[in-house]
Amino acid sequence: MTTGGSFREDTRAELLARLLDAARELTTAQGWSAVTMGAVARRAGISRQHVYNAVGTKQALGDALVGRETDAFLDVVRRELRAHPDDLVAGAVAAVVGALAFGASNDLLKAILTADGGESLLPVVTARPEVVLDRGVTVIAADLAALHGEHPDLPALADALVRLVISHATQPTGPDLAATQARWLAEGLARRS
C-alpha cells in the first residue's frame, strides 16, 4: 500500500495500516476495552514505543480505527451514488441501503455495538462528529455536488443521509424504513431544485 508520497510518508502509511489492522483484529476478537498499546504492538510485530510514536494515545488509535472504517462505508456510499448519476433519489436510497448492508456484515461495527461495559468505541461513532459525521458529510456533499451540480441544500442532504446511516447502523430497524426515509429526504431536495 503506497500513497505515492515520499519513502518516509509511504512507510508511515504502511505502519499505520498495520497498526489499524492489529487494533481491528483485537477489537473484533476481544472488544475495545481489552485493546492495549502493548497488545497492538505485539500483534503488529513492532515495539510499543513505535505504536505510541505512530498514533499517540489509545484514543487517537480508536479515532483512526473508526475513521478508516468510516472511509470503507463512504466507499460504498460513493459507489452507489455514482451508480445513479442522473437520479438523486435512486442514488440516495441505494447509498443508504448499501451502507447499511455493509454495516450489517461489518465485524468491527458489530464489536462496537455489542461491547459489554468498559471502554467503548461507540462514542467515537455517535458523539464525536469529527470522526464520522463531519468526515461523511464532507465526502458525500462533494460527491452530490459533482453529480448533481451545486445546490445550497446539498450539504443538508448529505448531513441527513449520514445521520440516517449512523442511526440505523447503531440501532437497526431493517433497510426498508431507512430506504423510505432516504427517499423522503432526497425527494424533498429534488422538489426544491
pLDDT at 139: 97
For the beta carbon of residue 191, count every other beta carbon within 10 angstroms.
Answer: 7
Fold (CATH) for 1-56: Arc Repressor Mutant, subunit A (1.10.10)
Average pLDDT over residues 52-73: 95
**What are the tens digits of pLDDT across the range 154-176?**
999 999 999 999 999 999 888 89
Q: What is the mean pLDDT of the chain?
A: 92
Query: Does the structure show a pLDDT above 90 at 96?
Result: yes
**What are the tens digits of pLDDT across the range 65-95?**
999 999 999 999 999 999 999 999 999 999 9
Average pLDDT over residues 140-150: 95
pLDDT at 193: 66
Angle at 175 between CA 172 and CA 180, to 5 degrees: 115
Q: Which amino acid is at 193?
A: S
Return the half-sphere exposure (C-beta side, CA atoms, 13 A cut-off) of residue 42. Answer: 5
Question: What pTM value is reported for the model?
Answer: 0.90
Average pLDDT over residues 137-158: 95
Query: Does the structure show a pLDDT above 90 at 11?
Result: no
Percentage of the residues of the chain whose pLDDT score is greater than 70: 97
pLDDT at 191: 83
**What are the tens digits of pLDDT across the range 103-142?**
999 999 999 998 877 789 999 999 989 999 999 999 999 9
Helix count and strand count (H, E) for the chain: 10, 0
Tell me how far the alpha carbon of residue 108 is from its chain's centroid.
Answer: 11
Return the half-sphere exposure (C-beta side, CA atoms, 13 A cut-off) of residue 63. Answer: 13
